[in-house]
């Protein structure tokens, strides 16, 4: 319900994240609660929020233990905020923290809250490992027994197969394909070359390495567990090195997705602070940018056989119509690099008059973008991709880019997700 007489502007005041680390490395012994709590503490320290109550904190994780059913609230309680601050867990796969920012923004815009935090975390190094359903039933049967014999009898049927663990998978249950396998189908359909994918990956590493060297991330990233910077970035990579890597998902001889042009499995967490303009002024915090539009979409990747990661093409097109903008009306483009090939498929779709007309319902192609404005501080291929944390990383990065550029007006965010979904947003200076 709207509280007040008008919809308010949503200010982005800044963000904090811990360095993104390759899985089973620097953060191997730490879980989601450790990573997200440290990130919240860093944000609260940065903006002097210790002991204060915020309207809401919305965040989430994609890979989560059952014990973490109230993950965000637990992290809030360990963050230094007033314990009267609520916490909400959400999950939209790789778009989780981008979605969280939109949800917090909606509450601010409607006057329900004055300020809130959006974030996300994922620890691939601390996966929930479960056992087969038959073993679960055996345990429950034993637990519900009323006599000693009733409790012991189920164990007579215990077999080695019951103890075979089930690890979290990245397979789509509807298609039985991994995200990488699905993207291989997309790049074949759109005729995206291996060379173009490697070039985008090379630029991702180059931009990220330059951003760290110039100090761009110094106030966006805090040290954690001895790690001071993202450890997947390869400042010494080259087009030649990338070209020598073997395909990872399609071993038939026609595969083009490799470990070099795909995101690595990553641990990390990120958070952003959003508020009303009045709250920001009262706390003497400068506004970096405004969250102006957000949009979600999904594709029928099972029935209609659309590309699993093509939903952002719809989301962005619909959002541009609502905003009255063209695809070229942006100073920066932050497109999540799940795979270099996914980004290139998305760009090719927007450039296709046929796709834009027949699929998106546009009168003409959305057109091409200036590649010099794309992921100018590096993307997920280089920086890494802790699933639920990437959206908040992107929002914080883009807000700072807009704040630092007096000539900039707006930036576009596009994030593809598992399940054939996408999240898009527009930030304005």
Which positions are annotated as active-site residues?
Answer: 94, 385, 416
How is residue 216 annotated by DSSP?
Answer: T
Report whether 373 contacts 206 (CB < 8 A): no
- Distances 367 to 32, 144, 282, 356 between C-alpha atoms, Å: 40, 63, 43, 9
Report whether 120 contacts 46 (CB < 8 A): no
What is the rounded CA–CA span in Å between residue 249 and residue 257?
7
List the one residue out of 112, 108, 80, 75 whose CA is nearest residue 9: 108
Cβ partners under 8 Å of residue 222, min gap 6? 16, 17, 18, 38, 39, 42
Q: Which two tokens stand for residue 94?
A: 């790789």
What is the rounded CA–CA span in Å between residue 295 and residue 308?
18
- Distances 322 to 56, 150, 421 between C-alpha atoms, Å: 27, 64, 19
CB atoms within 10 A of CB 317: 21
What is the rounded CA–CA span in Å between residue 311 and residue 284?
39
- Determine how β-strand 56-59 pairs with β-strand 87-89: parallel
DSSP string, 9-70: PEEEEEEEEPPPEETTSTTTT--HHHHHHHHHHHHHHHHT-TTPPPSEEEE--SS--GGGTT
- Determine how β-strand 21-22 pairs with β-strand 87-89: unpaired
């Amino acid at each position: 319900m709207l509280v007040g007489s008008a919809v308010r502007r949503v200010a982005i005041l800044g963000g904090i994240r811990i360095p993104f680390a390759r899985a089973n490395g620097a953060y191997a012994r730490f879980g989601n609660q450790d990573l997200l709590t440290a990130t919240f503490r860093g944000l609260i320290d940065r903006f002097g929020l210790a002991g204060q109550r915020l309207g809401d904190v919305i965040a989430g994780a994609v890979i989560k233990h059952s014990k973490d059913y109230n993950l965000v609230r637990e992290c809030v309680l360990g963050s230094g905020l007033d314990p009267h601050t609520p916490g909400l867990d959400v999950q939209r796969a790789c778009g989780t923290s981008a979605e969280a920012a939109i949800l917090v923004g909606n509450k601010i815009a409607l006057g329900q809250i004055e300020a809130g935090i959006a974030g996300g975390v994922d620890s691939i190094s601390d996966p929930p490992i479960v056992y087969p359903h038959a073993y679960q039933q055996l345990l429950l049967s034993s637990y519900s027994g009323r006599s000693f014999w009733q409790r012991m009898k189920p164990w007579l049927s215990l077999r080695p197969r019951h103890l075979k663990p089930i690890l979290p998978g990245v397979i789509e249950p509807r298609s039985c394909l991994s995200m990488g396998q699905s993207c291989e189908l997309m790049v074949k359909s759109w005729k995206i070359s291996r060379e173009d994918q490697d070039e985008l990956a090379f630029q991702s590493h180059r931009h990220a390495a330059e951003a760290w060297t110039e100090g761009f991330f110094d106030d966006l990233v805090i040290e954690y567990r001895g790690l001071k910077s993202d450890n997947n970035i390869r400042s010494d990579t080259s087009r030649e090195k990338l070209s020598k890597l073997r395909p990872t998902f399609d071993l038939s001889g026609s595969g083009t997705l490799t470990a070099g042009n795909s995101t690595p499995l990553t641990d990390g967490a990120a958070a952003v602070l959003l508020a009303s303009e009045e709250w920001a002024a009262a706390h003497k915090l400068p506004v970096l940018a405004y969250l102006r539009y957000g949009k979600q979409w999904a594709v029928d990747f099972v029935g209609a056989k659309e590309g699993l990661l093509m939903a952002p093409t719809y989301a962005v097109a619909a959002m541009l119509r609502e905003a009255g903008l063209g695809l070229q009306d942006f100073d920066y483009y932050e497109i999540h690099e799940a795979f270099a090939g996914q980004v290139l498929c998305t760009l090719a779709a927007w450039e296709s008059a046929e796709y834009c007309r027949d699929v998106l319902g546009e009168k003409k192609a959305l057109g091409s973008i200036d590649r010099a404005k794309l992921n100018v501080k590096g993307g997920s291929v280089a920086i890494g991709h802790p699933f639920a944390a990437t959206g908040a990383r992107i929002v914080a990065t883009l807000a700072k880019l807009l704040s630092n550029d007096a000539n900039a007006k707006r930036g576009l965010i596009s994030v593809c997700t598992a399940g054939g979904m996408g999240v898009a947003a527009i930030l304005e200076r």
